[in-house]
Amino acid sequence: MKNRWLLNIGLALLVGALVLLVLYKPGAHKEVEGTPLTALPAGAIERIRLVRPKQPEIVLEKSGDDWRLTAPRAARGNNFRVNELLGLAGTRVSTRFPAVPEELGKYGLDQPIATLILNNAEIRFGSMHPLDNQLYVLHNGQVQLIPASLYRAVSASLTDFLSTSLIDDKAKPLAFRFPDFSLKKNEQGAWTRTPELKGLGSDQVNHFVDEWRYARALSTSPYSGIRVQERVVITFADGDQQRAIEFGVLAYKPEFILYRKDENLEYSFPEETGARLLRLKPE
């Protein structure tokens, strides 16, 4: 009985050793502190491509300090989501080993669930490690393991890469036209309301303008075709010229939804945001 018990323990240890041998491979290099997944600094990345099975390819390109979506449609990019992709380049990796083409299927890297191309650096995303909460990725001829939570960055939907900012932070509004009133900046840089309202302070007007400048939507999506109920036109300084952008109110509740005509996108806000963006009266 004792010999059989010892034999079972020996077999269990042998199986465990074989499993570890297959999972981690001979020659796998484990770095205590970890080194970056790629040698590419995030600040040097100018173009991003995200390729996923049965989904349109997403292309983002840097424009000054911001990012623009150029495929499958043109739009302002969501810098927060883009930064998640950029962060993958410098992800610290402690386990990596040389890729063998014939064995990529073991790690789901022969048919990746996503492929991220940062400039010209390609990162393939494969399957989960069976015993650890990590994901196999392939870059520069090396199979590497990264935290599975990082997959979220490349699994985001197309709409997640659309900016939630209603207008650019750097945009300079010169005039607003609402159905019942208008605002215009005079030569001294102060805002005037037409028709004039007694008791309306300059601080209140400036705060109202800032509500528009810094409005952040809960979500952004392609225009649904809903009928516009009310229109707002904002005129901006565009170099030496002026540019007018039309917004349409699609719904007031349970969400306040604005349609930006030049982008053909709609922005969804909490219901109370509508009151702050449409009403300017003395407190």
130-167 pLDDT tens trace? 998 999 999 999 999 999 999 999 999 999 999 999 99
CB-neighbour burial class of residue 257 (10 A; exposed 0-12, middle 13-18, buried 19+): buried
The low-confidence residues of the chain, meaning pLDDT below 70, are 1-33
Nearest to 85 by CA among 144, 45, 56: 45
The structure tokens 């990796």 sit at: 93
Q: Are 135 and 125 in contact (CB under 8 A)?
A: yes
Phi, psi (deg, nearest 5) at residue 160? -65, -20
User: Which residues lie across from 35 on neighbouring strands?
Assistant: 93
For the stretch 165-208, pLDDT in tens is 999 888 899 999 999 999 999 988 899 999 999 889 999 999 99
Q: How many CA atoms lie within 13 A of 78 on its CB side?
A: 21
pTM for this predicted structure: 0.83
**pLDDT mean across residues, the chain:** 90
